[in-house]
Amino acid sequence: MEKFKKLFSRQFFEYTAAACIAVILYVLLTNFTALHKGLSFVWSIVSPVVIGIIVAYLFNPVAMFFEEKVFKKIKKKQSRHLWSVIMAAVCFILVIALLLVALVPSLAQSVSRLVANWKNYTQKADDLIEKTAAFAQSHNIKIDLSNIENLVDNSMDKIIETVKINSKTILSKLGEIGTGLSNFAIGLVFGFCFLMAKDTLIGVLKKIRYALFNAKKIERHDILFERCNKVFIRYIGCTLLDALIIGVATLIFTLIARTPYAPLIAAVVAVTNIIPTFGPMIGAATGVFFIVLESPVKALVFLIFICILQSIDGIVIKPKLFSGSLGIPAIWTLILIIIGSKVAGILGILLAVPFGAIFIIIYNETIEPRLEKRASKINKKE
């Protein structure tokens, strides 16, 4: 170990490492497409395992609750842990089943209603275009809306034609979605298997850590891991709770206002609210699009409501839930979301920001002190 420290402290090693890093960066930047394909291929292989680790990590508190509160009278630890994991899996299945029973029929009804009323919507759009053209003509405003009117009249034919032309791409995307769902299902199985073997896996990791690090470093790592764990759990839990609050509030409002496609719009708003920064805008725009086809007035009312709701969410709800910022600038949040979506899809979008926050913690508490220590040594030599 001392030999490696002496090697790392020599000046030629620094120059060599810098040159190697520069070459690697150059190769990566000049072959970005190949890099993206390579990362996607690697992710497709390891995603079930990664998903399994995340599932085990997220459901561990649920299993611990059952183990410490519900099954605490069972004397045998293995049996107690087994039943706790089984109950955590049952809770997950019940939540998914409840969501499917509550949302799927309403969503299917909303989509079928949208398709059935498509001609009425196009007729209303034609009327609006004609009124706009008449208003422009009466005020001597030259505007050509014939192309828009033609597009609206033939919208369904255009959609069918687009589907036919891009059938291979659509089938490819559907295949990717199917692969993602199958990987997620395999990941769920892995997750509960990891949860079953939690004690064994933790024991192996402890042995590896004690073999590589001394007690002082292990203690420092434990403190760092605990902080990262709190950031991760808080972010994921608060994000999902915030999305649920926004979705329920939207559903209640749309039902009271008798807005069309209420369950569909509430579900879209809740899911898009998970995406930081621009997710709420996507949900609002999607909701307005669906409603304006049937009632422009209700679309305007919905837009006003969603703006007020998102303002309350940003000013009151999120600060209460998150208890402060994660310390990531807005521009970096956007960059992390884009990178996460490209590498791991929806899962990447959800996990990009907490991983960024964890990296900042590691940088501030581990990397930066070492850099400062290194700089001070160089200054002393000079």
Helices H / strands E in the chain, number of each? 16, 0
The predicted structure's pLDDT at residue 243 = 86
- pLDDT tens, residue order, the chain (382 aa): 555 555 555 555 566 766 777 777 777 667 667 766 777 777 778 878 888 888 888 888 888 888 888 888 888 888 888 888 888 888 888 888 877 776 677 667 766 776 777 677 677 766 776 777 777 667 766 666 566 656 555 555 666 666 667 667 767 767 777 777 788 888 888 888 888 888 888 888 888 888 887 888 888 778 878 877 777 777 777 788 888 888 889 889 988 988 877 877 888 888 888 776 677 888 888 888 778 767 778 888 888 999 898 888 877 777 676 655 555 665 666 677 677 766 666 667 667 777 777 777 777 777 777 767 766 766 665 5
- Identify the CA nearest to 198 among candidates 338, 104, 64: 64
- Measure CA 60 to chain center: 20
SS (H, E, C) 51-93: HHHHHHHHHHHHHHHHHHHHCCCCCCHHHHHHHHHHHHHHHHH
Tell me how far CA of residue 331 lies from CA of 285, 299, 337, 368, in angstroms: 22, 31, 10, 22
Please tell me the distance from the alpha carbon of residue 83 to that of residue 186, in angstroms, as a whole number. Answer: 21
Please tell me the distance from the alpha carbon of residue 375 to that of residue 16, in angstroms, as a whole number. Answer: 18
CA angle 316, 320, 326 (to 5 degrees): 110
User: For the chain, how long is the longest CA-to-CA vector?
Assistant: 88
Collapsed DSSP state (helix, strand, coil) of residue 10: coil
Please tell me the distance from the alpha carbon of residue 135 to that of residue 131, in angstroms, as a whole number. Answer: 6
The predicted structure's pLDDT at residue 275 = 74
Please tell me the distance from the alpha carbon of residue 353 to that of residue 318, in angstroms, as a whole number. Answer: 15
Tell me how far CA of residue 273 lies from CA of 5, 117, 373, 379, in angstroms: 48, 28, 43, 49
Residue 141 — left, alpha, or beta (φ > 0 → left; ψ -120 to 50 → alpha)? Answer: beta
DSSP state of 315: I
CB 191 within 8 A of CB 56: yes
Half-sphere exposure of 177 (CA within 13 A, CB side): 6
- Identify the CA nearest to 249 among candidates 308, 318, 321: 308
The predicted structure's pLDDT at residue 233 = 75
Residue 284, token pair as written in the block: 């609002």
Enumerate the domain spans of the chain: 214-382
Residue in the structure block whose two tokens are 């609006």: 128
